[in-house]
């Protein structure tokens, strides 16, 4: 007789920052299902449940092969009863009734459509749904007041739903680089986010610009921009927290105007009226979401680590730092609560060392 308790097929540490998670996911059906439930929870203001599903999905992403039976999951961390039920349903019945129900639900569909508009979060979508708005058409008919971000988001809805390719990311990178370096010689531009982790497509392109100054002249390219001047100061008496006007850390969540590949050689300048009323079929450019983060050189390594993702990997790093090392990690700094001081770093490797972690390269941070 086999003691089933001894059937431990996989062993995975519970912190995602102790695991190497590549894009080679052997359990996409299971992780898609759990990610959908996570998304639904997040859209429903149930962040705790969202994180639980994200953690469960991330554990499955780290497995070296497909799961074929629930007994293989014995001893794995982060798999709560709810996630296990979903997994069992899929393994035994081919689908999870909860996932299928959620996918079909009017509420989830409406939340998705509305929050897919750039500038619309769960709160706003919720309010609109309560007013009977479930579709873009209903939104346009409703006479709701949209802010500038939402107007731009609605205007470029179809473009922004199209995944951004690595080729497009590289093309934007060259334009951003040229524009930034022309105003700030010596500035350094680094691709961050999903593309740095090796993803082939993304919902946006993320760049980190390192320079102490903050002037960016990308006017001709930006269809919409919201810049946040995020002042940050190392407080003498406590962990990293925003303070007043010392080091500027600027963020710019923008919509970028990218010419079609065959037109990219020619210089882009103003938005002409012709551009504004282009027909999708004859488009000479597309809109792309671009996030620009500017960090002073002293914070570069922290910004790089903090903006490369994945979101869950970042969350787990901070949890590890706080719970296991009594340190506070942010995209600006690392504070050692025991020593009562900031730990300086110029590379990601140094930060991992401070945290007592083996270095995990970006391509293995796809938790
Ligand atoms: N991020 C953040 N604050 C935000 C948005 C994003 O700190 N308001 C960070 C995330 O934690 C992540 C990185 O920015 O580390 C990239 O986020 P995002 O572009 O949303 O995700 P990607 O991993 O790049 O995935 P995608 O390909 O879908 O863009
Ligand atoms: Mn493999
Ligand atoms: Mn991104
Ligand atoms: Mn982004």
Which candidate, 29, 95, 75, places its Cα nearest to that of 85? 95
pLDDT, tens digit, 9 for 90 and up, residues 134-185: 999 999 999 999 999 999 999 999 999 999 999 999 999 999 998 888 877 7
Query: Is 206 one of the annotated binding-site residues?
Result: yes
Whether 135 contacts 109, CB under 8 Å:
no
CA atoms within 13 A on the CB side of 123: 1
The residues annotated with a catalytic role in the active site are 204, 206, 291
CATH-assigned architecture of domain 4-102 = Orthogonal Bundle (1.10)
Q: How far apart are CA 243 and CA 236, in angstroms?
A: 11
CB 10 within 8 A of CB 63: yes
**Structure pTM?**
0.87
Instruction: Kindly list the protein residues that place their beta carbon closer than 5 angstroms to ligand 4, a single-atom ion.
Output: 204, 206, 291
Cα-flanking dihedrals φ and ψ of residue 278, to 5°? Answer: -60, 155
ipTM > 0.85, yes or no: yes
Rounded Cα gap, residues 107 and 297, in angstroms: 45
267 contacts 257 by C-beta, under 8 angstroms: no
Compute the distance between CA of residue 91 and CA of residue 29 in angstroms, rounded to an integer.
Answer: 10
Residue 116, marked binder: no
- Does domain 106-155 correspond to CATH entry 1.10.287.110? no
- Range 158-367: architecture per CATH: 2-Layer Sandwich (3.30)
Predicted confidence band at 261 (pLDDT cuts at 50, 70, 90)?
confident
pLDDT tens profile 78-117:
999 999 999 999 999 999 999 999 999 999 999 999 999 9
Give the Å distance between the CA of 45 and the centre of ligand 1: 19
For 353, phi then psi, to 5°, come to -65, -45
């Amino acid at each position: 007789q086999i003691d089933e308790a001894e059937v431990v097929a996989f062993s995975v540490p519970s912190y995602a920052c102790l695991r190497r998670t590549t894009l080679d996911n052997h359990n996409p059906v299971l992780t898609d299902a759990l990610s959908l439930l996570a998304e639904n929870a997040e859209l429903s203001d149930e962040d705790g449940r969202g994180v639980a599903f994200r953690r469960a999905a991330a554990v499955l992403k780290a497995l070296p092969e497909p799961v074929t039976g629930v007994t293989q999951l014995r001893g794995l961390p982060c798999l709560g009863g709810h996630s296990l039920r979903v997994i069992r349903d899929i393994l035994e019945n081919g689908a999870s009734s909860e996932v299928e129900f959620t996918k079909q639900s009017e509420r989830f569909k409406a939340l998705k459509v509305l929050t897919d508009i750039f500038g619309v979060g769960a709160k706003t979508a919720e309010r609109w749904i309560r007013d009977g708005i479930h579709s873009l058409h209903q939104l346009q008919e409703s006479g709701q007041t949209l802010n500038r971000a939402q107007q731009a988001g609605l205007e470029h809805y179809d473009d922004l739903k199209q995944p951004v390719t690595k080729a497009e990311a590289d093309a934007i990178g060259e334009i951003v680089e040229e524009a930034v370096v022309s105003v700030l010689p010596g500035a350094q531009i680094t691709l961050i986010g999903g593309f740095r982790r090796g993803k082939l497509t993304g919902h946006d392109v993320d760049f980190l610009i390192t320079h102490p100054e903050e002037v960016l002249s990308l006017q001709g390219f930006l269809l919409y921009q919201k810049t946040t001047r995020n002042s940050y100061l190392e407080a003498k008496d406590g962990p990293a927290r925003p303070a007043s006007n010392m080091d500027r850390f600027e963020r710019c969540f923008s919509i970028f105007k990218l010419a079609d590949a065959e037109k990219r050689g020619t210089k882009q300048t103003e938005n002409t009226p012709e551009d504004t009323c282009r027909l999708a079929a004859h488009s000479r450019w597309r809109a792309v979401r671009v996030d620009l983060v500017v960090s002073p050189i002293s914070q570069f390594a922290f910004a790089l680590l903090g903006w490369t993702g994945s979101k869950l990997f970042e969350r787990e790093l901070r949890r590890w730092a706080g719970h296991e090392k009594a340190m506070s990690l942010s995209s600006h700094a690392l504070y050692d609560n025991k020593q009562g001081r900031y730990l300086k770093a110029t590379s990601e490797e140094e930060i991992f060392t401070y945290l007592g972690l083996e270095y995990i390269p970006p391509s293995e941070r796809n938790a």
